[in-house]
Structure 1
Amino acid sequence: MDNQQGFLDKVVLVTGAAAGIGEATARAFAAQGAKVVLADIDNGGEHVANSLCAQGHKAVFHACDVSNSGSVTALFAFIQDTFGRIDIAFNNAGIDIESGKLADGSEDVFDKIMDINVKGVWLCMQHEIQTMLKTGGGAIVNTASVAGLGAAPKMSIYAASKHAVVGLTKSAAVEYAKKSIRVNAICPAVIDTNMYRRALAGDEKKAHAIGAMHPVGRIGTVEEVVGAVLYLCSEAAGFTTGVTLPVDGGSTAI
Protein backbone atom coordinates (compact mmCIF):
# COMPACT_ATOMS: atom_id res chain seq x y z
CA MET A 1 0.00 0.00 0.00
CA ASP A 2 1.31 3.42 -0.99
CA ASN A 3 1.98 5.48 2.13
CA GLN A 4 4.43 8.00 0.78
CA GLN A 5 2.66 10.90 2.48
CA GLY A 6 2.64 9.40 5.97
CA PHE A 7 -1.05 8.62 6.44
CA LEU A 8 -0.76 5.00 7.57
CA ASP A 9 -3.02 4.46 10.61
CA LYS A 10 -3.75 8.19 10.93
CA VAL A 11 -7.31 8.97 12.03
CA VAL A 12 -8.85 11.25 9.41
CA LEU A 13 -12.22 13.02 9.51
CA VAL A 14 -13.86 14.13 6.27
CA THR A 15 -17.11 16.10 6.42
CA GLY A 16 -19.33 16.34 3.38
CA ALA A 17 -18.01 12.88 2.50
CA ALA A 18 -21.03 11.39 0.76
CA ALA A 19 -20.10 12.63 -2.72
CA GLY A 20 -17.86 14.86 -4.81
CA ILE A 21 -14.65 16.24 -3.36
CA GLY A 22 -15.37 14.83 0.09
CA GLU A 23 -15.94 11.29 -1.14
CA ALA A 24 -12.87 11.36 -3.39
CA THR A 25 -10.70 12.68 -0.56
CA ALA A 26 -11.96 10.04 1.88
CA ARG A 27 -11.15 7.34 -0.69
CA ALA A 28 -7.67 8.77 -1.24
CA PHE A 29 -6.87 8.83 2.48
CA ALA A 30 -8.18 5.28 2.90
CA ALA A 31 -6.07 4.08 -0.02
CA GLN A 32 -2.98 5.33 1.83
CA GLY A 33 -3.80 3.39 4.98
CA ALA A 34 -5.64 5.98 7.05
CA LYS A 35 -8.57 5.20 9.34
CA VAL A 36 -11.27 7.40 7.83
CA VAL A 37 -14.36 8.80 9.50
CA LEU A 38 -16.87 9.92 6.89
CA ALA A 39 -19.44 12.45 8.09
CA ASP A 40 -22.38 13.81 6.15
CA ILE A 41 -26.04 14.68 6.57
CA ASP A 42 -26.57 12.47 3.51
CA ASN A 43 -26.64 8.78 4.41
CA GLY A 44 -24.97 8.10 1.06
CA GLY A 45 -21.80 8.44 3.09
CA GLU A 46 -22.56 5.08 4.66
CA HIS A 47 -22.48 3.46 1.23
CA VAL A 48 -19.07 5.04 0.59
CA ALA A 49 -17.74 3.78 3.93
CA ASN A 50 -19.11 0.28 3.29
CA SER A 51 -17.50 0.19 -0.15
CA LEU A 52 -14.15 1.19 1.35
CA CYS A 53 -14.42 -1.55 3.99
CA ALA A 54 -15.27 -4.06 1.27
CA GLN A 55 -11.97 -3.10 -0.40
CA GLY A 56 -10.07 -3.83 2.81
CA HIS A 57 -9.77 -0.25 4.03
CA LYS A 58 -10.64 1.15 7.45
CA ALA A 59 -13.65 3.44 7.26
CA VAL A 60 -16.72 4.30 9.32
CA PHE A 61 -19.67 6.60 8.69
CA HIS A 62 -21.46 8.87 11.14
CA ALA A 63 -24.44 11.00 10.14
CA CYS A 64 -23.86 14.62 11.11
CA ASP A 65 -25.45 18.00 10.52
CA VAL A 66 -22.44 20.28 10.92
CA SER A 67 -24.67 23.29 11.55
CA ASN A 68 -26.09 21.67 14.70
CA SER A 69 -23.87 21.79 17.78
CA GLY A 70 -25.44 18.69 19.32
CA SER A 71 -24.89 16.70 16.14
CA VAL A 72 -21.26 17.82 15.95
CA THR A 73 -20.70 16.95 19.61
CA ALA A 74 -22.12 13.49 18.97
CA LEU A 75 -19.81 13.04 15.98
CA PHE A 76 -16.71 13.76 18.02
CA ALA A 77 -17.90 11.57 20.89
CA PHE A 78 -18.21 8.79 18.32
CA ILE A 79 -14.69 9.43 17.04
CA GLN A 80 -13.33 9.43 20.58
CA ASP A 81 -15.09 6.17 21.43
CA THR A 82 -14.02 4.52 18.16
CA PHE A 83 -10.44 5.72 17.72
CA GLY A 84 -9.53 7.83 20.75
CA ARG A 85 -7.92 10.56 18.67
CA ILE A 86 -8.02 12.56 15.46
CA ASP A 87 -4.91 13.38 13.45
CA ILE A 88 -6.30 15.02 10.32
CA ALA A 89 -9.55 16.82 9.54
CA PHE A 90 -10.94 17.97 6.20
CA ASN A 91 -13.86 20.32 6.84
CA ASN A 92 -15.49 20.10 3.46
CA ALA A 93 -19.25 20.20 4.11
CA GLY A 94 -20.86 23.20 2.47
CA ILE A 95 -23.71 24.40 0.27
CA ASP A 96 -24.32 26.83 -2.56
CA ILE A 97 -28.04 27.54 -2.96
CA GLU A 98 -27.85 31.14 -4.14
CA SER A 99 -28.47 32.63 -7.59
CA GLY A 100 -29.26 36.30 -7.49
CA LYS A 101 -27.99 39.78 -6.73
CA LEU A 102 -27.48 40.86 -3.13
CA ALA A 103 -30.56 43.09 -2.87
CA ASP A 104 -32.78 40.22 -3.99
CA GLY A 105 -31.50 37.69 -1.45
CA SER A 106 -33.59 36.12 1.29
CA GLU A 107 -32.87 35.90 5.00
CA ASP A 108 -33.62 32.17 4.99
CA VAL A 109 -30.96 31.53 2.35
CA PHE A 110 -28.49 33.75 4.21
CA ASP A 111 -29.04 31.86 7.47
CA LYS A 112 -28.77 28.43 5.86
CA ILE A 113 -25.55 29.21 3.97
CA MET A 114 -23.92 30.80 7.01
CA ASP A 115 -25.05 28.02 9.34
CA ILE A 116 -23.49 25.28 7.22
CA ASN A 117 -20.54 27.00 5.56
CA VAL A 118 -19.34 29.09 8.51
CA LYS A 119 -20.86 27.85 11.75
CA GLY A 120 -20.33 24.26 10.63
CA VAL A 121 -16.61 24.82 10.02
CA TRP A 122 -16.28 26.73 13.30
CA LEU A 123 -18.01 24.02 15.34
CA CYS A 124 -15.93 21.24 13.79
CA MET A 125 -12.69 23.17 14.23
CA GLN A 126 -13.43 23.73 17.90
CA HIS A 127 -13.76 20.00 18.54
CA GLU A 128 -10.85 19.10 16.27
CA ILE A 129 -8.48 21.52 17.95
CA GLN A 130 -9.55 20.51 21.45
CA THR A 131 -8.92 16.88 20.55
CA MET A 132 -5.60 17.53 18.80
CA LEU A 133 -4.31 19.55 21.73
CA LYS A 134 -4.60 16.42 23.86
CA THR A 135 -2.68 14.22 21.42
CA GLY A 136 0.18 16.42 20.27
CA GLY A 137 -1.18 18.20 17.23
CA GLY A 138 -2.55 17.53 13.77
CA ALA A 139 -3.54 19.04 10.45
CA ILE A 140 -6.80 20.72 9.48
CA VAL A 141 -7.86 21.71 5.97
CA ASN A 142 -11.00 23.74 5.31
CA THR A 143 -12.80 24.04 2.01
CA ALA A 144 -13.07 27.71 1.12
CA SER A 145 -13.35 28.87 -2.51
CA VAL A 146 -11.98 31.37 -4.97
CA ALA A 147 -15.19 33.19 -3.99
CA GLY A 148 -13.53 33.63 -0.61
CA LEU A 149 -10.60 35.47 -2.19
CA GLY A 150 -12.53 38.03 -4.20
CA ALA A 151 -15.93 38.89 -5.57
CA ALA A 152 -18.62 36.46 -6.69
CA PRO A 153 -21.44 38.29 -8.49
CA LYS A 154 -24.89 36.78 -7.81
CA MET A 155 -23.32 34.69 -5.04
CA SER A 156 -22.64 37.38 -2.43
CA ILE A 157 -23.80 35.34 0.57
CA TYR A 158 -21.78 32.32 -0.53
CA ALA A 159 -18.76 34.57 -1.10
CA ALA A 160 -19.17 36.09 2.36
CA SER A 161 -19.31 32.62 3.89
CA LYS A 162 -16.11 31.57 2.18
CA HIS A 163 -14.34 34.80 3.14
CA ALA A 164 -15.32 33.86 6.69
CA VAL A 165 -13.78 30.39 6.28
CA VAL A 166 -10.55 32.05 5.16
CA GLY A 167 -10.64 34.24 8.27
CA LEU A 168 -11.25 31.28 10.57
CA THR A 169 -8.43 29.37 8.89
CA LYS A 170 -5.82 32.11 9.19
CA SER A 171 -6.75 33.05 12.75
CA ALA A 172 -6.68 29.46 14.02
CA ALA A 173 -3.40 28.81 12.20
CA VAL A 174 -1.71 31.63 14.11
CA GLU A 175 -3.37 30.81 17.43
CA TYR A 176 -2.23 27.18 17.40
CA ALA A 177 1.01 27.33 15.39
CA LYS A 178 3.13 26.60 18.46
CA LYS A 179 0.90 23.67 19.41
CA SER A 180 1.78 21.64 16.29
CA ILE A 181 -1.66 22.16 14.78
CA ARG A 182 -1.54 23.32 11.18
CA VAL A 183 -4.64 24.92 9.64
CA ASN A 184 -4.92 25.61 5.93
CA ALA A 185 -7.64 26.08 3.33
CA ILE A 186 -8.16 25.12 -0.28
CA CYS A 187 -9.88 27.58 -2.60
CA PRO A 188 -11.24 25.73 -5.64
CA ALA A 189 -12.69 27.40 -8.70
CA VAL A 190 -15.31 25.45 -10.71
CA ILE A 191 -14.81 21.71 -10.24
CA ASP A 192 -16.40 18.86 -12.18
CA THR A 193 -18.71 17.35 -9.56
CA ASN A 194 -22.22 15.93 -9.68
CA MET A 195 -23.47 19.21 -8.18
CA TYR A 196 -21.86 21.13 -11.03
CA ARG A 197 -23.34 18.79 -13.65
CA ARG A 198 -26.82 19.08 -12.16
CA ALA A 199 -26.57 22.87 -12.24
CA LEU A 200 -25.35 22.72 -15.83
CA ALA A 201 -28.37 20.60 -16.89
CA GLY A 202 -26.66 19.46 -20.08
CA ASP A 203 -26.11 22.98 -21.43
CA GLU A 204 -22.92 22.47 -23.45
CA LYS A 205 -22.71 26.11 -24.49
CA LYS A 206 -22.74 27.15 -20.84
CA ALA A 207 -20.18 24.46 -20.00
CA HIS A 208 -17.83 25.79 -22.67
CA ALA A 209 -18.22 29.36 -21.37
CA ILE A 210 -17.52 28.31 -17.79
CA GLY A 211 -14.43 26.39 -18.84
CA ALA A 212 -13.18 29.36 -20.85
CA MET A 213 -13.39 31.58 -17.75
CA HIS A 214 -10.36 29.75 -16.37
CA PRO A 215 -6.97 30.65 -17.89
CA VAL A 216 -6.20 26.96 -18.46
CA GLY A 217 -9.36 26.75 -20.60
CA ARG A 218 -11.24 24.13 -18.58
CA ILE A 219 -12.75 23.45 -15.19
CA GLY A 220 -10.92 21.44 -12.55
CA THR A 221 -11.22 17.78 -11.66
CA VAL A 222 -12.01 16.34 -8.25
CA GLU A 223 -8.66 14.54 -8.29
CA GLU A 224 -6.81 17.84 -8.65
CA VAL A 225 -8.49 19.15 -5.51
CA VAL A 226 -7.79 15.92 -3.65
CA GLY A 227 -4.09 16.25 -4.46
CA ALA A 228 -3.99 19.69 -2.86
CA VAL A 229 -5.79 18.47 0.29
CA LEU A 230 -3.48 15.49 0.74
CA TYR A 231 -0.41 17.66 0.30
CA LEU A 232 -1.56 20.15 2.95
CA CYS A 233 -2.24 17.27 5.35
CA SER A 234 1.05 15.53 4.65
CA GLU A 235 4.38 15.68 6.44
CA ALA A 236 5.79 17.41 3.36
CA ALA A 237 3.70 20.48 4.32
CA GLY A 238 5.03 20.57 7.87
CA PHE A 239 6.10 24.23 7.52
CA THR A 240 2.88 25.30 5.83
CA THR A 241 0.09 26.83 7.89
CA GLY A 242 -2.38 29.68 7.42
CA VAL A 243 -2.34 29.18 3.66
CA THR A 244 -5.33 29.66 1.37
CA LEU A 245 -4.34 27.57 -1.63
CA PRO A 246 -6.16 28.32 -4.89
CA VAL A 247 -6.95 25.27 -7.01
CA ASP A 248 -8.32 27.38 -9.80
CA GLY A 249 -6.63 26.96 -13.15
CA GLY A 250 -5.03 30.39 -12.81
CA SER A 251 -8.26 32.28 -12.10
CA THR A 252 -6.92 34.31 -9.17
CA ALA A 253 -3.77 35.25 -11.09
CA ILE A 254 -5.74 37.55 -13.36
Structure 2
Amino acid sequence: MIFQDRFKDKVAIVTGAAQGIGKGVAERLAKEGAKVILVDRADIVLQVTEELKTEGFDALAIQADLETFAGFEKVVAETLKAYQKIDILINNVGGTIWAKPFQHYKEDEIIKEINRSLFPTLWGCQSVLQPMIDNKGGVIINVSSIATRSINRVPYAAAKGGVNAITASLAFEQAANNIRVVAIATGGTEAPARIIPRNEKPMSAEEKIWYQEIVDQTRESTLQKKYGQIEDQVNAILFAASDEAKYITGVTIPVSGGDLG
Protein backbone atom coordinates (compact mmCIF):
# COMPACT_ATOMS: atom_id res chain seq x y z
CA MET A 1 0.00 0.00 0.00
CA ILE A 2 1.29 3.45 -0.94
CA PHE A 3 0.65 6.33 1.45
CA GLN A 4 0.34 9.50 -0.60
CA ASP A 5 2.82 12.20 0.43
CA ARG A 6 3.92 10.39 3.62
CA PHE A 7 7.47 11.55 2.86
CA LYS A 8 6.63 14.82 1.11
CA ASP A 9 9.67 17.16 0.97
CA LYS A 10 11.87 14.61 2.77
CA VAL A 11 15.36 13.96 1.37
CA ALA A 12 16.19 10.27 1.66
CA ILE A 13 19.38 8.39 0.86
CA VAL A 14 18.96 4.69 0.06
CA THR A 15 22.08 2.55 -0.26
CA GLY A 16 22.23 -0.65 -2.25
CA ALA A 17 19.38 0.79 -4.30
CA ALA A 18 20.06 -0.95 -7.60
CA GLN A 19 18.20 -4.17 -6.82
CA GLY A 20 16.37 -6.17 -4.17
CA ILE A 21 15.12 -4.56 -0.97
CA GLY A 22 17.01 -1.31 -1.59
CA LYS A 23 15.39 -0.84 -4.99
CA GLY A 24 11.96 -1.53 -3.50
CA VAL A 25 12.53 1.02 -0.73
CA ALA A 26 13.78 3.70 -3.13
CA GLU A 27 10.81 3.25 -5.45
CA ARG A 28 8.28 3.43 -2.63
CA LEU A 29 9.91 6.47 -1.04
CA ALA A 30 9.74 8.28 -4.37
CA LYS A 31 6.09 7.33 -4.86
CA GLU A 32 5.32 8.59 -1.36
CA GLY A 33 6.77 12.03 -2.02
CA ALA A 34 10.44 11.85 -1.05
CA LYS A 35 13.38 13.23 -2.96
CA VAL A 36 15.40 10.03 -3.26
CA ILE A 37 19.13 9.55 -3.65
CA LEU A 38 19.80 6.05 -4.98
CA VAL A 39 23.30 4.87 -4.13
CA ASP A 40 25.08 1.81 -5.46
CA ARG A 41 28.40 0.96 -7.06
CA ALA A 42 26.69 -0.96 -9.88
CA ASP A 43 25.82 0.81 -13.12
CA ILE A 44 22.25 -0.49 -12.98
CA VAL A 45 21.44 2.14 -10.35
CA LEU A 46 21.51 4.66 -13.19
CA GLN A 47 18.77 2.78 -15.04
CA VAL A 48 16.60 2.42 -11.92
CA THR A 49 16.93 6.15 -11.26
CA GLU A 50 16.12 7.13 -14.83
CA GLU A 51 12.96 5.03 -14.69
CA LEU A 52 11.83 6.93 -11.60
CA LYS A 53 12.62 10.28 -13.19
CA THR A 54 10.71 9.29 -16.33
CA GLU A 55 7.68 8.67 -14.10
CA GLY A 56 8.02 12.21 -12.76
CA PHE A 57 9.69 11.47 -9.43
CA ASP A 58 12.57 13.45 -7.91
CA ALA A 59 15.53 11.06 -7.92
CA LEU A 60 19.31 11.27 -8.06
CA ALA A 61 21.76 8.44 -8.70
CA ILE A 62 25.18 8.37 -7.06
CA GLN A 63 27.72 5.62 -7.71
CA ALA A 64 30.07 5.06 -4.79
CA ASP A 65 32.01 2.40 -2.92
CA LEU A 66 30.40 2.51 0.52
CA GLU A 67 32.93 0.16 2.06
CA THR A 68 35.10 3.28 2.36
CA PHE A 69 34.57 6.42 4.39
CA ALA A 70 35.50 8.51 1.33
CA GLY A 71 32.73 6.81 -0.63
CA PHE A 72 30.08 7.82 1.87
CA GLU A 73 31.49 11.31 2.24
CA LYS A 74 31.03 11.68 -1.53
CA VAL A 75 27.38 10.64 -1.20
CA VAL A 76 26.73 13.15 1.56
CA ALA A 77 28.49 15.98 -0.27
CA GLU A 78 26.56 15.38 -3.52
CA THR A 79 23.26 15.07 -1.64
CA LEU A 80 23.79 18.35 0.20
CA LYS A 81 24.80 20.05 -3.03
CA ALA A 82 21.60 18.90 -4.71
CA TYR A 83 19.09 19.19 -1.84
CA GLN A 84 20.81 21.13 1.01
CA LYS A 85 19.71 18.65 3.69
CA ILE A 86 19.40 14.97 4.65
CA ASP A 87 16.28 13.77 6.47
CA ILE A 88 16.51 10.00 6.13
CA LEU A 89 19.26 7.44 5.59
CA ILE A 90 18.42 3.83 4.76
CA ASN A 91 21.61 1.81 5.30
CA ASN A 92 20.82 -1.20 3.13
CA VAL A 93 24.21 -2.28 1.73
CA GLY A 94 25.31 -5.73 2.87
CA GLY A 95 24.70 -9.40 2.30
CA THR A 96 26.33 -12.78 2.67
CA ILE A 97 29.10 -13.38 0.14
CA TRP A 98 30.00 -16.93 1.14
CA ALA A 99 27.96 -19.60 2.90
CA LYS A 100 29.95 -22.28 4.70
CA PRO A 101 30.94 -23.55 8.14
CA PHE A 102 33.30 -21.12 9.85
CA GLN A 103 36.33 -23.43 9.72
CA HIS A 104 36.26 -23.23 5.93
CA TYR A 105 36.52 -19.43 5.72
CA LYS A 106 39.83 -17.91 4.70
CA GLU A 107 41.22 -14.81 6.35
CA ASP A 108 40.55 -12.55 3.36
CA GLU A 109 36.98 -13.87 3.07
CA ILE A 110 36.23 -12.97 6.69
CA ILE A 111 37.59 -9.47 6.13
CA LYS A 112 35.53 -9.05 2.95
CA GLU A 113 32.34 -10.14 4.74
CA ILE A 114 32.91 -7.56 7.49
CA ASN A 115 33.81 -4.86 4.99
CA ARG A 116 30.65 -5.61 3.03
CA SER A 117 28.08 -5.86 5.81
CA LEU A 118 29.38 -3.69 8.68
CA PHE A 119 31.47 -0.80 7.41
CA PRO A 120 28.93 0.72 4.97
CA THR A 121 26.52 1.11 7.90
CA LEU A 122 29.23 2.47 10.21
CA TRP A 123 30.45 5.00 7.63
CA GLY A 124 26.89 5.93 6.70
CA CYS A 125 25.83 6.67 10.25
CA GLN A 126 28.93 8.74 10.93
CA SER A 127 28.72 10.68 7.66
CA VAL A 128 25.12 11.88 8.01
CA LEU A 129 25.21 12.84 11.67
CA GLN A 130 26.40 16.42 11.33
CA PRO A 131 24.01 17.26 8.47
CA MET A 132 21.14 15.77 10.49
CA ILE A 133 22.19 17.69 13.60
CA ASP A 134 22.31 20.88 11.50
CA ASN A 135 18.84 20.00 10.19
CA LYS A 136 17.49 19.65 13.76
CA GLY A 137 16.85 15.92 13.39
CA GLY A 138 16.66 12.90 11.14
CA VAL A 139 16.07 9.18 10.87
CA ILE A 140 18.58 6.39 10.24
CA ILE A 141 17.28 2.94 9.37
CA ASN A 142 19.89 0.18 9.45
CA VAL A 143 18.99 -2.98 7.56
CA SER A 144 20.17 -5.85 9.73
CA SER A 145 19.35 -9.56 9.69
CA ILE A 146 18.09 -12.39 11.86
CA ALA A 147 21.26 -14.19 10.75
CA THR A 148 22.92 -13.09 13.99
CA ARG A 149 21.63 -16.50 15.09
CA SER A 150 22.15 -18.73 12.09
CA ILE A 151 24.47 -21.28 10.49
CA ASN A 152 27.18 -21.23 7.80
CA ARG A 153 27.72 -17.45 7.85
CA VAL A 154 29.48 -16.51 11.07
CA PRO A 155 31.34 -13.46 9.63
CA TYR A 156 28.09 -12.06 8.25
CA ALA A 157 26.42 -12.72 11.61
CA ALA A 158 29.23 -10.81 13.32
CA ALA A 159 28.75 -7.87 10.96
CA LYS A 160 25.00 -7.72 11.53
CA GLY A 161 25.49 -8.06 15.28
CA GLY A 162 27.64 -4.97 14.94
CA VAL A 163 24.86 -3.20 13.05
CA ASN A 164 22.47 -3.94 15.92
CA ALA A 165 24.98 -2.57 18.43
CA ILE A 166 25.52 0.58 16.37
CA THR A 167 21.76 1.09 16.27
CA ALA A 168 21.28 0.84 20.02
CA SER A 169 24.29 2.94 20.99
CA LEU A 170 23.83 5.65 18.37
CA ALA A 171 20.15 6.06 19.21
CA PHE A 172 21.08 6.51 22.88
CA GLU A 173 23.73 9.06 21.98
CA GLN A 174 21.77 11.07 19.42
CA ALA A 175 18.27 11.19 20.90
CA ALA A 176 18.98 14.64 22.28
CA ASN A 177 19.63 15.78 18.70
CA ASN A 178 16.22 14.51 17.57
CA ILE A 179 17.81 11.70 15.54
CA ARG A 180 16.10 8.32 15.60
CA VAL A 181 18.01 5.13 14.78
CA VAL A 182 16.20 1.86 14.14
CA ALA A 183 17.31 -1.48 12.71
CA ILE A 184 15.13 -3.82 10.68
CA ALA A 185 16.30 -7.43 11.01
CA THR A 186 15.22 -9.03 7.78
CA GLY A 187 14.34 -12.70 7.68
CA GLY A 188 14.46 -14.98 4.67
CA THR A 189 13.15 -12.95 1.76
CA GLU A 190 12.22 -14.13 -1.71
CA ALA A 191 13.72 -11.92 -4.39
CA PRO A 192 14.54 -12.07 -8.10
CA ALA A 193 17.97 -13.43 -8.96
CA ARG A 194 20.58 -10.74 -8.43
CA ILE A 195 21.70 -9.03 -11.62
CA ILE A 196 25.16 -8.68 -10.11
CA PRO A 197 25.88 -11.50 -7.63
CA ARG A 198 27.72 -10.79 -4.40
CA ASN A 199 30.11 -13.64 -5.18
CA GLU A 200 31.28 -13.63 -8.76
CA LYS A 201 32.43 -17.26 -8.62
CA PRO A 202 29.77 -19.97 -9.10
CA MET A 203 29.15 -22.12 -6.01
CA SER A 204 30.77 -25.52 -5.89
CA ALA A 205 28.65 -28.61 -5.28
CA GLU A 206 29.65 -28.53 -1.60
CA GLU A 207 28.87 -24.81 -1.30
CA LYS A 208 25.41 -25.41 -2.77
CA ILE A 209 24.76 -27.95 -0.01
CA TRP A 210 25.90 -25.48 2.66
CA TYR A 211 23.71 -22.75 1.17
CA GLN A 212 20.70 -25.05 1.13
CA GLU A 213 21.32 -25.70 4.82
CA ILE A 214 20.90 -21.96 5.41
CA VAL A 215 17.62 -21.92 3.47
CA ASP A 216 16.29 -24.94 5.37
CA GLN A 217 17.35 -23.57 8.75
CA THR A 218 15.84 -20.16 7.99
CA ARG A 219 12.47 -21.63 7.06
CA GLU A 220 12.47 -23.97 10.04
CA SER A 221 13.31 -21.13 12.45
CA THR A 222 10.30 -19.05 11.43
CA LEU A 223 6.94 -19.62 13.06
CA GLN A 224 5.31 -19.31 9.64
CA LYS A 225 7.72 -21.82 8.02
CA LYS A 226 8.20 -19.72 4.91
CA TYR A 227 10.19 -16.90 3.36
CA GLY A 228 8.75 -13.40 3.21
CA GLN A 229 8.49 -11.02 0.25
CA ILE A 230 10.47 -7.89 -0.57
CA GLU A 231 7.28 -5.93 0.07
CA ASP A 232 7.25 -7.16 3.68
CA GLN A 233 10.67 -5.63 4.31
CA VAL A 234 9.86 -2.43 2.41
CA ASN A 235 6.68 -1.91 4.44
CA ALA A 236 8.56 -2.23 7.73
CA ILE A 237 11.45 -0.02 6.66
CA LEU A 238 9.15 2.76 5.47
CA PHE A 239 7.05 2.60 8.62
CA ALA A 240 10.17 2.88 10.79
CA ALA A 241 11.40 5.81 8.71
CA SER A 242 8.08 7.66 8.87
CA ASP A 243 6.66 10.01 11.49
CA GLU A 244 4.25 7.22 12.43
CA ALA A 245 7.20 5.65 14.26
CA LYS A 246 8.38 8.86 15.93
CA TYR A 247 8.44 7.21 19.38
CA ILE A 248 10.48 4.20 18.22
CA THR A 249 14.26 4.34 18.42
CA GLY A 250 17.25 2.27 19.52
CA VAL A 251 15.68 -1.10 18.75
CA THR A 252 16.09 -3.90 16.22
CA ILE A 253 12.74 -5.00 14.79
CA PRO A 254 12.63 -8.51 13.31
CA VAL A 255 10.62 -8.87 10.11
CA SER A 256 10.96 -12.59 9.83
CA GLY A 257 7.77 -14.55 10.32
CA GLY A 258 8.41 -14.88 14.05
CA ASP A 259 12.14 -15.71 14.01
CA LEU A 260 13.75 -13.36 16.54
CA GLY A 261 17.29 -14.14 15.41
TM-score, normalization: structure 1?
A: 0.90
Counterpart for residue 159 of structure 1 = 157
2:245 corresponds to: 237
In structure 2, what is the equivalent of residue 99 of structure 1?
99
Partner of 1:20: 20
CA distance in 2, matches of 1:38, 1:104: 35
CA contact (8 A) 2:184 2:253 kept: yes
State the one-letter code of the partner of 1:20: G
Q: Could you tell me how far apart the structure 1 residues matched to 2:163 and 2:247 are?
A: 21
Tell me the secondary structure at the aligned position of residue 186 of structure 1: strand
* Residue 184 (structure 2) pairs with residue 176 (structure 1): no
User: Which SS does the other structure have where 1:38 is aligned?
Assistant: strand
1:120 maps to amino acid: P
Structure 2: runs of 5 or more not aligned: 198-202
Q: Which of residues 247, 252, 256 in structure 2 aligns to 1:248?
A: 256
Alpha-carbon deviations, 1:173-198, whole Å to 9, x = none?
A: 00001111000000011101135898
1:1-254 aligned at under 5 Å gives the runs 3=3, 6-148=6-148, 151-195=149-193, 209=216, 211=219, 213-252=221-260
Kindly provide the amino acid, as one letter, of the partner of residue 160 in structure 1: A
1:145 deviates by 0.3
Partner Cα distance (1:224, 1:64) in 2: 27
CA contact (8 A) 1:18 1:40 kept: yes
Report the 3-state secondary structure (helix = DSSP H, G, I; strand = E; otherwise coil) of the residue aligned with 2:254: strand
Structure 1 CA distance, aligned partners of 2:215 and 2:123? 38
Describe the shift of the 1:91–1:28 C-alpha distance in structure 2 as closer, same or farther (beyond 3 A).
same
In structure 2, how many angstroms separate the alpha carbons of the residues matched to 1:80 and 1:5? 22
In structure 2, distance between residues paired with 1:77 and 1:14: 15
Amino acid corresponding to residue 191 of structure 2 in structure 1 = T
**What amino acid sits opposite 1:167 in the alignment?**
A
Tell me, in whole angstroms, the C-alpha distance in 2 between the residues paired with 1:208 and 1:35.
36
Q: CA deviation at 1:3?
A: 4.7
Does the 8 Å contact 2:67/2:119 carry over to 1? yes
1:80-123 CA distance string (max 9 Å, x none): 11111100110001121122211221111111111121111111
Rounded Cα–Cα distance in structure 2 between residues aligned with 1:195 and 1:144:
20
8 Å contact kept, 1:189–1:251: yes
Decide whether aligned partners of structure 1 residues 145 and 77 sit closer, same or farther in structure 2, where only a CA change above 3 A counts.
same
Q: Which moved more, 1:162-171 or 1:107-116?
A: 107-116
CA contact (8 A) 1:5 1:235 kept: no
SS in 1 for 2:247: coil
Q: Is the 8 A contact 2:5 2:33 kept in 1?
A: no
- Partner Cα separation in structure 1 for residue 92 and residue 26 of structure 2: 11
Is the Cα contact below 8 Å between 1:102 and 1:154 reproduced in 2? yes
CA distance in 2, matches of 1:154, 1:195: 21
Unmatched segments (≥5 aa) in structure 1: none
What is the root-mean-square deviation in Å for CA atoms of aligned residues? 2.3
Please give the TM-score of this superposition, normalised by the length of structure 2: 0.88
